[in-house]
């Protein structure tokens, strides 16, 4: 019932209290407004709402400090992660450079070894060829001079010796007038 309707009612029909519910009206639930008598007395004036209280300033300072701590901690973790990644990448680069250097060194060593081996084979072939020619010439000379009698009934004897870099020939020619000894040392060209 509204207040206007209450004014039109007779004394018998009026409820004893204004807030009392009539039988015709359904009972309404009261919604709490959230205002208690204590909150009404401690309600701030509009001019006081702009200025935070001392405890609010301290709370704000603590919150700011905590946010700063969290930001510094987050940045520290980010820096540490970046340093870990950088250290790992430097190790990877170092190992890659070491592998490249080792591969280049092995390739260079293989090429140098092949060149040295080839040069030694060529030198050995040339020296062997010269040695075989000299040996063949010495054998021919020996075969011709060994126990060969000259027209004056002289004899020619000889022998040879081959060392690492020399061919030694010693010939002894016996003629009627006296012996004639010829010694010859022929150097073999060996590159040192």
pLDDT tier, 40 (very low <50, low <70, confident <90, very high otherwise): very low
Q: Are 170 and 181 in contact (CB under 8 A)?
A: yes
The dihedrals phi and psi of 2, each to the nearest 5 degrees, come to -90, 170
* 156 burial type by CB count under 10 A (0-12 exposed, 13-18 middle, 19+ buried): buried
Helix (H) or strand (E) holding 183: strand 179-187
Q: Are 167 and 160 in contact (CB under 8 A)?
A: yes
Q: pLDDT digit string (tens) for 97-112?
A: 999 999 999 999 999 9
Q: pLDDT digit string (tens) for 151-165?
A: 556 667 777 887 777
Model-wide pTM > 0.75:
no
Residue % of the chain over a pLDDT of 70: 62
Upper half-sphere CA count for residue 35 (Cβ side, 13 Å): 5
Lowest mean pLDDT among 56-65, 119-128, 168-177: 168-177
Structure tokens at 60: 């704000």
């Amino acid at each position: 019932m509204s207040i206007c309707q209450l004014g039109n009612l007779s004394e018998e029909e009026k409820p004893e209290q204004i807030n009392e519910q009539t039988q015709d009206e359904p009972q309404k639930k009261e919604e709490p407004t959230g205002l208690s008598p204590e909150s009404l007395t401690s309600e701030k004036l509009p001019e006081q709402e702009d200025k935070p209280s001392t405890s609010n300033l301290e709370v704000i300072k603590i919150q700011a400090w905590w946010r700063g701590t969290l930001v510094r901690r987050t940045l520290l973790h980010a820096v540490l992660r970046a340093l870990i990644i950088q250290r790992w990448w430097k190790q990877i680069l170092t190992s890659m450079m070491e592998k490249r250097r080792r591969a280049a060194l092995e390739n260079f060593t293989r090429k140098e070894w092949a060149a040295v081996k080839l040069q030694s084979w060529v030198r050995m072939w040339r020296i062997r060829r010269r040695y075989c020619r000299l040996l063949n010439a010495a054998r021919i000379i020996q075969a011709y001079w060994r126990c060969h009698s000259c027209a004056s009934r002289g004899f020619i004897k000889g022998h040879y010796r081959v060392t690492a870099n020399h061919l030694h020939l010693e010939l002894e020619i016996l003629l009627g007038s006296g012996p004639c000894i010829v010694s010859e040392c022929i150097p073999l060209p060996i590159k040192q």
